[in-house]
Chain A
Amino acid sequence: MGEQFKRLSGEWMTPRRRFLSALYGGRVDKVPAMTLSSVITLEAMEIADAYFPEAHLDAEQMARLAATAHEDLGLDTVMPVFHSQLEADALDAATWWGTVDNWPATSAHVLHDPEDFSIPSDYLKRPSFEAVLGAIRLLRKRYPEVAIVGKVYGPWSVGFHLVGIENFLMGTITEPDAIRRYLEVLLPASMMSAHAQFEAGADAVMWADHANRELVSPQTYRDFLLEMHQQVTEEMGGPSILHCCGETTDRIDYFAEAGWDCFHFESQVDPHVAKEITGGRMSLMGNINNPTTLFSGTYDDCYQACMNVLEAGVDGVAPEGSVPLGTKMEVLQALADSARDYSNAHRPDGRLVVHDPPPSPSDENGEA
């Protein structure tokens, strides 16, 4: 008996507890290293003997593949939705499922009028959902202590797929009411997806709506999505993570206002600045650069990049987005290693991580 309750020290939290604590900005034994979007690579497919594109529509293969994030990369989370087609495919968009070395995508747009839209009665039973929900159930059973992250495309991004991204974006200026109506009718489809993933066993769901600076102004986020996202975070039914690609510094304040528990941010955003803007209103996880650091870089490049964000005091370290399929597992290994080493060096009582205080203004002067 006594054995079981030994003093807590080192890495004593389960990955699942650690992730959830970090997600809410709480204390942890180790800063989690995670996958929030896909970390699947060609190498991982070999290891799991599960390959794209079959794995997108097969729960068992998807679960095996997702598990490599924990088994082979030592990450605290697994994430089984490797593509962006889950909802769109089940809503009758024409999907090209890709190849072993390429991701799926929508190949034709189907929606021309928001009033024509309805959610099919068997929506959650469509093949794309059967696979994902099945994979989450399998993962839950096989990995009770590992955090499972689900992924949902919100109505803005599903709108890109169904309506066509250019029509959709242009519509924000030429027919804003129609775009608002699209968002309104599409929202329940995204909500159903989130609820179903929680029910299947996901610990948190990442919600992607691509309203980034490369595409639209911060005002567009405010005018079209802020209020809707406030509703989403209230009614999602579990821990929520927002993903928005690209440079988002000028709209992070709105994201915090929307009530997201966490923001998964990209490498264009400076973590120090992001922390300053959010001021603890939501946690921050990210933001290791995909093309330069993970795909073209070395283990050491990745390790150093991770250390930089960890030292900025983020709540978790993860690739910024779905990693390129040709990325080497050896490089991705630096995610978990850096989180371990950083945490070992920042655990004064041996039990919980304490980040260094941010430099005072006078220190900064000295540095510059």
Chain B
Amino acid sequence: MAQLSDIVNETVRAEIEEFLDRPEEIERNIELFSRASPAMQDIAAALIEGDNITVDRLTVQALADGVEAIEIMDDGLIAGMGIVGIKFREGFVFVPEVLVSARAMKAGMAHIEPILAASGVEPIGTVIMGTVQGDLHDIGKNLCIMMLRGGGFTAIDLGVNTSPDEFLEAVRENDAHLIGMSALLTTTMPNMARTVEHFKDAGLRDQVRFMVGGAPVTPEFGEEVGADGYGKDALACVELAKKLAAELRT
């Protein structure tokens, strides 16, 4: 079994030691990072620190050194973002820190994405994300999108105030099967149900899976509106998306 001391990057080691609490998460991260090359650990560390310039430079460097794009994404960028997500969930960092890390992630992905697209590497799945009609809160939804991208999904952002029809159109256009709806207002939560209904009316309900979230939304409410799952935070959103994507494949 891998040990913390197998991780060469000091920042990554310190992050795991200081901020991770759940045994399964500690184990998973030690496993992941001890396997990752020192260069990938450096990328992860820079991403955790929100240093977009360094992430950009190290990504370019790694590609020039012949590292596979997918390895940089998985062992550098996604691995780093995983730690940021946990720190946010546990209240060690706040929205600004996550936004800054997401910006660093974007800097790296700008080099990775074209390569992956050209080589035909499939993302785990495509998720259509939007804040429901009448609602203009988007910070939480945006964080989910960042973590989904960080988790290997393609996420299409429909922005705020998204009508049931816009969700439907986006599903058709992108041949997507996963939908994430966010609502922060009790007054707009019923629009989640309306969206699900709209898919039923269009005869598309069975082909898609709905995820719901946002501060006032509960698992019970999700069930009530006929969604397929509820996520409490951005990490839970990624887990749920993975579960539903697997369901769709079978």
Query: Residues on A close to B: CB < 8 A?
Result: 96, 98-99, 101-103, 105-107, 165-166, 169-170, 172-174, 213-217, 220, 290-291, 295-296, 324-326
How many angstroms from the CA of A216 to the CA of B186 in the assembled complex?
A: 23
Which residue of A170, A215, A217 is within 8 Å of B100 (Cβ)?
A: A170
The answer to whether B187 and A213 have CB atoms under 8 Å apart is no
The answer to whether A324 and B186 have CB atoms under 8 Å apart is yes
B93 to A, closest residue via Cβ: A217
How many angstroms from the CA of A217 to the CA of B99 in the assembled complex?
A: 14
- 13 A-B pairs whose Cβ atoms sit less than 8 Å apart in the complex: A102-B188, A166-B142, A169-B99, A170-B96, A173-B96, A214-B95, A216-B94, A216-B95, A216-B96, A291-B186, A296-B186, A324-B186, A326-B186
Interfacial chain A residues near B216, Cβ < 8 Å? 290-291
Interfacial chain B residues near A173, Cβ < 8 Å? 50, 96-97, 100
Chain B nearest CB from A340 CB (Å) reads 27
Chain B nearest CB from A163 CB (Å) reads 13
Per-position binary interface string of chain B over residues 173-206, scored 1 when its CB falls under 8 Å from any chain A CB and 0 otherwise: 0000000000001111000000000000000000
Q: Chain A CB within 10 Å — which of B94, B139, B142 has the most?
A: B94
At the interface, is chain B mostly helix, strand, loop or mixed? loop
The answer to whether B95 and A215 have CB atoms under 8 Å apart is yes
Number of A-B residue pairs with CB-CB distance less than 8 Å in the complex they form: 58
The number of residues on chain B lying at the interface, defined by a beta carbon within 8 Å of a beta carbon of chain A, is 20
How many angstroms from the CA of A105 to the CA of B97 in the assembled complex?
A: 25
Q: Chain B CB within 10 Å — which of A173, A215, A290, A296 has the most?
A: A173
The answer to whether A105 and B139 have CB atoms under 8 Å apart is no
Within 186-240 of B, Cβ neighbours of A (below 8 Å) are at 186-188, 215-216
Chain A nearest CB from B201 CB (Å) reads 22
Which residue of B94, B103, B186 is within 8 Å of A295 (Cβ)?
A: B186
Interfacial chain A residues near B134, Cβ < 8 Å? 98-99, 101-102
How many angstroms from the CA of A98 to the CA of B100 in the assembled complex?
A: 32
The answer to whether B187 and A220 have CB atoms under 8 Å apart is no
Interfacial chain A residues near B96, Cβ < 8 Å? 169-170, 172-173, 216, 220
Q: Report if B136 contacts A (CB, 8 A).
A: yes
How many angstroms from the CA of A267 to the CA of B95 in the assembled complex?
A: 21
Per-position binary interface string of chain B over residues 233-250, scored 1 when its CB falls under 8 Å from any chain A CB and 0 otherwise: 000000000000000000
Interfacial chain B residues near A291, Cβ < 8 Å? 186, 216
Interfacial chain A residues near B91, Cβ < 8 Å? 213
Q: Which 4 A-B pairs have the closest CB atoms?
A: A324-B186, A291-B216, A105-B136, A170-B99
The answer to whether B94 and A220 have CB atoms under 8 Å apart is yes
Interfacial chain A residues near B99, Cβ < 8 Å? 166, 169-170
A172 to B, closest residue via Cβ: B96
How many angstroms from the CA of A99 to the CA of B95 in the assembled complex?
A: 30
